[in-house]
């Protein structure tokens, strides 16, 4: 929600409507004059000066942005939201608000392009990034010692699905005088509400679950802090990080089904995680809502359900791993996640290729780790796809792989 006047016809208390209703009805302030049920795409770069909506130029705002910002702020329980051209643009907006010498304390397992942006862009401008394993509570005192201005976590993390105690990290961050940012991309606004748990900023790639159809790019940051909102709105226009109106329209359309999609992603992923842990060619399954996951109790407390992402360490060679991924039919081998269609990716050569091999090895991203984004197809079809692909892997006929020691988490 930006500072412009809102004519939202659902300006009543948000407690009155549930998440799915708000996802569909909030932010409908385009329709007063025409009665259109679906908003137009405002394909205009500029606006007549002095218009009642306060718009001037699409780099600094557009009716489509305003509608989406209102809906996202509402769904994240935030006062404000700012939309960007991608998740990476949203990350850029936050870090570009810092100054040389500022310290950011980040979780050591983060999305590869976030790591690359920190290391290859912002460190050059003097922002100092330090890394920590935030699943180890013994490390929390470092949050005070390092004197960060910003603490940066993902939960669950990409790709290892570590679950971080947002409430605890928020307490320590605020004690240190730092803001806490949670990258909420893997959970989505439906499954997890970082601001209610004490985070200062909730950032997410709307390319993923929010849009949900792999047809557009976007990012957003939600906050209750006016000072951060000012910085983010400034970054949107001053750095040219604004999205395109059509992409924003597509995200808004996708968002209407977020609740129902997430429930199906979750149901399918839990079924597949259970299946995978019985497969002899799988060494470990990483899925926070399996009771064998080390942060299962935290995950069930902090998130409404599990999301659609599963990671698995395979009991195969590197070549067999690639062969398996190439043999899948319903799981497309591709970057990205969070769409209705199932995808699979090989983090070491794809999403996390920009992370140096020694760092990958230290945090646990091996050459035989795969990441599934489980879609909303029929779960039995997805399981059959995995079974067929596994059978097609050379030298992986029954009995060729010794029985696995069960150690999934
Ligand atoms: C956790 C996380 N944050 C941010 C991003 C960046 O989003 P985008 O691809 O929209 O720039 C991604 C992309 O995969 C991601 O996984």
8 A C-beta contact, residue 217 and residue 336: no
8 A C-beta contact, residue 262 and residue 303: no
Q: How far is the CA of 35 from the centre of ligand 1 (A)?
A: 36
Indicate which atom in ligand 1 lies nearest the CA of residue 208: 10
Residue range(s) of every CATH 3.90.1150.10 domain in the chain:
259-392
Coil, helix or strand at residue 115? helix
Ligand 1 pocket residue status of 288, Cβ below 6 Å: no
Residue 110 CB coordination number (10 Å) = 21
d(CA 354, CA 311): 19
Indicate which atom in ligand 1 lies nearest the CA of residue 157: 1
How confident is the model at residue 13, as a pLDDT?
53
Indicate which atom in ligand 1 lies nearest the CA of residue 217: 10
User: Which DSSP string corresponds to 213-248?
Assistant: SSS---EEEEES-HHHHHHHHHHHHHTT----HHHH
pLDDT tens-digit profile of 314-326?
999 999 999 999 9
pLDDT tens-digit profile of 224-259?
999 999 999 999 999 999 999 999 999 999 999 999
Domain covering 259-392: architecture: Alpha-Beta Complex (3.90)
Q: Is the pLDDT of residue 10 over 50?
A: no
8 A C-beta contact, residue 159 and residue 347: yes
- Tell me the percentage of the chain whose pLDDT exceeds 90: 88
Q: How far is the CA of 110 from the centre of ligand 1 (A)?
A: 10
Residue range(s) of every CATH 3.40.640.10 domain in the chain:
14-255
pLDDT tens-digit profile of 175-184?
999 999 999 9
**Answer CATH for 14-255 from 3.20.20.10, 2.60.120.260, 3.40.640.10, 3.40.50.1370:** 3.40.640.10
Ligand 1 pocket residue status of 202, Cβ below 6 Å: no
Average pLDDT over residues 105-110: 97
Ligand 1 pocket residue status of 158, Cβ below 6 Å: yes
Ligand 1 pocket residue status of 86, Cβ below 6 Å: yes
């Amino acid at each position: 929600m930006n500072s412009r006047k809102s004519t939202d016809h659902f300006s009543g208390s948000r407690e009155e409507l549930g998440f799915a209703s708000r996802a569909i009805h909030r932010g409908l302030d385009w329709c007063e004059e025409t009665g259109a049920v679906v908003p137009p795409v405002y394909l205009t770069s500029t606006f007549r000066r002095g218009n009642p909506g306060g718009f001037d130029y699409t780099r600094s705002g557009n009716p489509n942005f305003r509608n989406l910002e209102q809906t996202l702020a509402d769904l994240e329980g935030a006062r404000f939201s700012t939309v960007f051209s991608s998740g990476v643009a949203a990350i850029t907006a936050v870090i570009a608000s810092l100054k040389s010498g500022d310290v950011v304390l980040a979780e050591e397992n983060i999305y590869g392009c976030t790591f690359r942006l920190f290391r290859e862009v912002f460190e050059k401008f003097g922002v100092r990034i330090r890394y920590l394993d935030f699943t180890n509570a013994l490390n929390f005192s470092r949050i005070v010692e390092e004197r960060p201005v910003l603490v940066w976590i993902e939960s669950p993390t990409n790709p290892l699905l570590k679950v971080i105690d947002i409430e605890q990290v928020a307490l320590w961050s605020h004690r240190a005088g730092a803001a806490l940012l949670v990258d909420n991309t893997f959970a989505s606004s439906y499954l997890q509400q970082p601001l209610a748990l004490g985070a200062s900023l909730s950032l997410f790639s709307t390319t993923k679950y929010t849009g949900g159809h792999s047809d557009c790019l976007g990012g957003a940051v939600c906050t209750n802090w006016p000072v951060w909102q000012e910085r983010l709105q400034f970054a949107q226009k001053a750095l040219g990080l604004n999205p395109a109106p059509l992409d924003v329209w597509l995200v808004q359309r996708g968002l209407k089904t977020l609740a129902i999609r997430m429930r199906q992603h979750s149901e399918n992923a839990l079924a597949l995680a259970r299946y995978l842990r019985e497969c002899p060619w799988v060494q470990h399954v990483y899925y926070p809502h399996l009771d064998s996951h080390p942060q299962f109790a935290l995950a069930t407390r902090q998130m409404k359900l599990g999301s659609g992402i599963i990671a698995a360490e395979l009991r195969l060679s590197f070549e067999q791993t690639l062969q398996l991924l190439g043999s899948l039919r319903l799981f497309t081998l591709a970057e990205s996640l969070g769409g209705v269609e199932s995808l699979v990716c090989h983090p070491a050569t794809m999403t996390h290729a920009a992370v140096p091999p020694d760092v990958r090895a230290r945090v646990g991203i091996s050459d035989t780790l795969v990441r599934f984004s489980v879609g909303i197809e029929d779960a039995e079809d997805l399981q059959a796809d995995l079974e067929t692909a596994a059978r097609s892997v050379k030298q992986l006929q029954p009995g060729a792989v010794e029985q696995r020691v069960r150690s999934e988490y």
